[in-house]
Structure 1
Amino acid sequence: MGKDSKPKNKGKQPAAGAGAGDDGASKSGGKGKGGKSADGLGTCTYVKARHVLCEKQSKINEAYKKLQDGWLDNGDKVPPAEFAKVAAEYSECPSGKKGGDLGWFPRGKMAGPFQDVAFSTPIGATSAPFKSTHGYHIILCEGRKN
């Protein structure tokens, strides 16, 4: 197991990429030169992402429904430009004005659940809504690098 023996996903549905709280990518090599793991996520040290942040769960669910109705229900990936429109409309983060663009950030910069979900969401995929200390989020992973 990991450093602590407590499960991090206590009875909740898994967020993006099942088991986001205890994914192997965040513990399997950290800042190593990293090859690819079985799930293709590898052990990257940087991720490029967009997000939507809302204080209320009902608002993030509304934003997610908009993404579902447009793309996710059909199994499609949300195009970054379309995700940016949803972020501009719904996000309460200052990044919302930039389509939710957070740019590239290293492992260790973002807190707990946000980092776990960002680094475990496959490139081009959108996470399910999840809660962090800042509110409720949806993440679109746009890239990874070492």
Structure 2
Amino acid sequence: MGKDSKPKSKGKQPAAGASEDGASKGAGKGKGGKSADGLGTCTYVKARHILCEKQGKINEAYKKLQDGWLSNGDKVPPAEFAKVAAEYSECPSGKKGGDLGWFPRGKMAGPFQDVAFSTPIGVTSAPFKSTHGYHIILSEGRKN
């Protein structure tokens, strides 16, 4: 979807808490169908993440992100997210600033995929648990 493109609405209003581009967390998780907010319809997501085995450590990383970027809400610049990922992440991707690159729908398991495909571009997710541990995701892009 191009910069000037707007998702087509089918009579639905954007959900409360929608971002400037009309996207909101948790909405439009359909597989392939069009949604009013444009989330859940893409085939690929580009993301960074922080993975920690212990909940206390992921909460510490999240607090560090929040403390540094309170005025931006949940929007942390990728370079700053990368610094925190390099410091806290226990995943090998942490050495690359948590960069996972582009990945298709169906590659990541359960909650990780759900959060990655429902977090608006430029937004940092709240910490969440998966089978691999605790994560924070920064969504960097979407494409079909």
TM-score relative to the length of structure 2 = 0.76
Contact 2:23 2:120 in 1 (8 A): no
Report deviation, 1:41.
Answer: 1.9
Contact 1:50 1:140 in 2 (8 A): yes
Alpha-carbon deviations, 1:46-103, whole Å to 9, x = none? 0000000000000000000001111145426100000000000000000000000000
User: Which residue pairs with 1:34 in the alignment?
Assistant: 32
Contact 2:124 2:139 in 1 (8 A): yes
Report deviation, 1:35.
Answer: 7.5
Q: Quick one: structure 1 residues 83 and 9, their matched pair in 2 at CA, closer, same or farther if it must change by over 3 Å?
A: farther
CA–CA separation in structure 1 for the residues paired with 2:2 and 2:130: 20
Contact 2:58 2:136 in 1 (8 A): yes
Contact 2:52 2:90 in 1 (8 A): yes
User: Which residue pairs with 2:8 in the alignment?
Assistant: 8
Contact 1:20 1:120 in 2 (8 A): no
Report deviation, 1:106.
Answer: 0.1
Q: Quick one: structure 1 residues 14 and 53, their matched pair in 2 at CA, closer, same or farther if it must change by over 3 Å?
A: farther
Q: Quick one: structure 1 residues 116 and 58, their matched pair in 2 at CA, closer, same or farther if it must change by over 3 Å?
A: same
Report deviation, 1:144.
Answer: 0.1
- Greater CA deviation, 70-79 or 101-110? 70-79
Alpha-carbon deviations, 1:20-40, whole Å to 9, x = none? 999999999999996852223
Q: Quick one: structure 1 residues 91 and 26, their matched pair in 2 at CA, closer, same or farther if it must change by over 3 Å?
A: same
The number of aligned residues is 144
Structure 2 residue ranges without an equivalent (≥5): none
Contact 1:21 1:116 in 2 (8 A): no
Report deviation, 1:15.
Answer: 16
Contact 2:61 2:88 in 1 (8 A): yes
Structure 1 residue ranges without an equivalent (≥5): none
CA–CA separation in structure 1 for the residues paired with 2:9 and 2:36: 22
Identity %: 93
